[in-house]
Amino acid sequence: MYKNTKFALIASLVVLIGFPVLFILISLFTGQWGYLLWSIIHSFTAGFTGLMITFMQLKKAVFANFVAFTHPKKSAQY
């Protein structure tokens, strides 16, 4: 996996999974479930957006490498 996309994938997964778990623990500790309700929407929105952008970048990089491997003369165009 490429260096920049690896960091983006890790960051997206931390936001998508780590933040809701953190706020579940805070909500359990305080007894106020508003923390979880207000954080879950924003965590999923940011996490899925980052995840989709990361997957698009990976797909683009894999396609460029495939074209460079199969058609070395045409790889300069991509």
- pLDDT digit string, tens, across residues 9-57: 898 899 999 999 999 999 999 999 988 888 899 999 999 998 999 888 8
Q: Could you state, in order of their start, the residue ranges of all structural domains in the chain?
A: 3-70
With beta carbons less than 8 A apart as the criterion, state whether 36 and 28 touch: no
Structure tokens at 13: 């997964």
Amino acid type, 72: P
Mean pLDDT on 52-75 = 74
Cα four-point dihedral sign 37, 38, 41, 42: negative
CA atoms within 13 A on the CB side of 54: 19
CA 24/CA 31 separation, integer angstroms: 10
